A and B are shown apart, each in its own frame.
Chain A
Amino acid sequence: GENVEQHPSTLSVQEGDSAVIKCTYSDSASNYFPWYKQELGKRPQLIIDIRSNVGEKKDQRIAVTLNKTAKHFSLHITETQPEDSAVYFCAASTAGTASKLTFGTGTRLQVTL
């Protein structure tokens, strides 16, 4: 089955700096890659997603890149703010009737003043 690895497990950046979180996946059939932000005690919330027919997607300060050949995808957050502090999860999914999400192990991002 699919396996998703995520690095780093913790990331500390200063406010205004950029943060990058990287994930790799194993199943070449995966074609949907969402990123979720989870604050302490709250539900995971989708912040951006990308499908395998595009290589990059941007939404204001957040961008995701996908390299299908290398089976890598990354989350880029620019101009980080304290409210960006949370745990971020990448996930991968294949099309089909059982389109489950396979999650990475999470990255705890701490944005310091």
Chain B
Amino acid sequence: DAGVTQSPTHLIKTRGQQVTLRCSPISGHKSVSWYQQVLGQGPQFIFQYYEKEERGRGNFPDRFSARQFPNYSSELNVNALLLGDSALYLCASRPRGVLNTEAFFGQGTRLTVV
């Protein structure tokens, strides 16, 4: 079974640009969450999607948006990039959205904003 896959693995963008990150959950998992991990810190929750609906949003500006597709894959979009958006962006999938079950993380997308 394939795990959670994210693309691209690395990305360099210029301030003010826009970026789209992609995530494919484990087959059968319907819940996808996005986290931002700044170097030296723990992951910070950005969004959770379950059954294609946004079910939670963290304390991030409106420049961050996401969506989930019918096949449960997801995209995270960040507009008007700032230097402070440089981080590892992690996607996690879970079998169900409501009950607390293990979250499986992808390898992440390392975004560098210059």
Is A99 a contact partner of B98 (Cβ separation < 8 A)?
yes
Is B48 a contact partner of A98 (Cβ separation < 8 A)?
yes
Is B43 a contact partner of A43 (Cβ separation < 8 A)?
no
Whether A45 is near chain B, meaning CB under 8 Å from some CB there, is yes
Q: Which of A36, A49, A91, A98 contacts B56 (CB 8 A)?
A: A98
Is B108 a contact partner of A43 (Cβ separation < 8 A)?
yes
Q: Please provide the chain B residues from 80 to 108 with a CB less than 8 Å away from any CB of chain A in the complex.
A: 90, 92, 94, 97-100, 102-108
Residue of A nearest to B110 (CB): A41
Whether A100 is near chain B, meaning CB under 8 Å from some CB there, is yes
Residue of A nearest to B50 (CB): A97
Whether A101 is near chain B, meaning CB under 8 Å from some CB there, is yes
The answer to whether residues A100 and B98 also contact, given A43-B107, A105-B41 and a CB cut-off of 8 A, is: no
Q: Please provide the chain B residues from 56 to 83 with a CB less than 8 Å away from any CB of chain A in the complex.
A: 56, 58
Give A34 to B43 CA distance when docked, in angstroms: 13
Residue of B nearest to A99 (CB): B100
Q: Please provide the chain A residues from 1 to 54 with a CB less than 8 Å away from any CB of chain B in the complex.
A: 4, 6, 31-32, 34, 36, 42-46, 49, 51
Whether B24 is near chain A, meaning CB under 8 Å from some CB there, is no
Give A36 to B102 CA distance when docked, in angstroms: 11
Tell me how far the C-beta of B43 lies from the nearest C-beta in chain A, rounded to whole angstroms: 5
Is A106 a contact partner of B56 (Cβ separation < 8 A)?
no
Tell me how far the C-beta of A8 lies from the nearest C-beta in chain B, rounded to whole angstroms: 14
* Interface positions of A (Cβ within 8 A of B): 4, 6, 31-32, 34, 36, 42-46, 49, 51, 89, 91, 93-106
